[in-house]
């Protein structure tokens, strides 16, 4: 047997290395794609569950998940781009809306909420649907972690009065989390701003018919 010349063995090793690199890059791309699809599907599932919890089926007679409109507001809702909102109807009349709301003031930045507001301006319910707050410290707004998020149910712009729309540490009415005030402070403010938006846009939001959208 003749030994491979150095030139040949370099070529062969380069080829093997090249193929290995191509395989690895392909594998990483595949895993990334599969993971991002799973994350998107999970977020979609969480969103649907949140919508149904905020306005359960027995409170409206339309298909809430299909009755959507586009909303675009940076001032109150802090939406970085137009986003989907939902309306609940009874006999065609809009009885509540669920608004997408963003705050960038969380301990770890952005927190995404869904805020349900009834036609009379009372909160139907609130859910946090995306966040990066610290597990066990800053995530007590999660339904699985406690009742805190339910403390907003039935509240409105006038109940409590504006100065009550803060955590207790700041003189307001809402509990902070033990050792973590930044997160609940951000969430309370985001909800209050959503109520202000609703108050300002009330007429338009309640008169929405199919296919209409509302913009800043």
Ligand X SMILES: Cc1cc2nc3c(=O)[nH]c(=O)nc-3n(C[C@H](O)[C@H](O)[C@H](O)COP(=O)(O)O)c2cc1C
Specify the residue, 62 or 176, whose C-beta has the smaller distance to ligand X: 176
For position 175 contacting ligand X by CB under 6 A, the verdict is no
Which is closer to ligand X, CB of 53 or CB of 105?
105
Rule CB under 6 A: say whether 148 interacts with ligand X. Answer: no
- What is the Cα–Cα distance from 101 to 111, expressed in whole angstroms? 8
Distance CA 147, CA 151 (A): 7
**Could you tell me the smallest distance in angstroms from the CB atom of residue 143 to ligand X?**
17
- With residues binned 3-state (H G I as helix, E B as strand, rest as coil), the percentages for the chain, rounded to 5, are 40, 25, 35
Considering only residues 29, 39, 137, 159, which one is a binding residue for ligand X as defined by CB under 6 A?
A: 137
Decide if residue 65 touches ligand X (CB under 6 A). Answer: no
Strands, sheet with 214-215, edge to edge from the N-terminal-most edge strand: 123-130, 109-118, 93-106, 83-90, 68-72, 214-215
Considering beta carbons, is residue 73 or 139 the nearer one to ligand X?
139
Q: Is 133 in the site for ligand X (CB under 6 A)?
A: yes
Is 187:113 a contact under the CB 8 Å cutoff?
A: yes
Question: According to CB under 6 A, which one of 59, 181, 189, 214 is a site residue for ligand X?
Answer: 181
């Amino acid at each position: 047997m003749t030994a491979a010349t150095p030139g040949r063995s370099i070529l062969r090793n380069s080829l093997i290395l090249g193929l290995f690199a191509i395989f690895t890059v392909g594998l990483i791309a595949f895993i990334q794609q599969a993971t991002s699809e799973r994350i998107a599907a999970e977020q979609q599932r969480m969103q649907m569950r949140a919508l149904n919890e905020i306005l359960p089926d027995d409170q409206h007679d339309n298909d809430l998940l299909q009755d959507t409109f586009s909303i675009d507001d940076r001032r109150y809702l802090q939406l970085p781009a137009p986003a989907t909102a939902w309306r609940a109807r009874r006999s065609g009349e809009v009885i509540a809306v669920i608004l997408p709301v963003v705050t960038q003031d969380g301990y770890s930045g952005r927190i995404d909420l869904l805020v349900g507001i009834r036609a009379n301006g009372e909160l139907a319910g609130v859910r946090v649907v995306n966040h990066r707050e610290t597990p066990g410290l800053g995530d007590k707004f999660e339904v699985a972690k406690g009742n805190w998020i339910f403390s907003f149910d039935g509240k409105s712009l006038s109940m409590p009065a504006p100065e009550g729309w803060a955590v207790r540490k700041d003189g307001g009415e809402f509990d902070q989390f033990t050792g973590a005030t930044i997160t609940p402070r951000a969430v309370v403010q985001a909800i209050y701003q959503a109520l202000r938006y609703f108050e300002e846009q009330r007429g338009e939001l309640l008169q929405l018919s199919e296919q209409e959208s509302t913009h800043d």
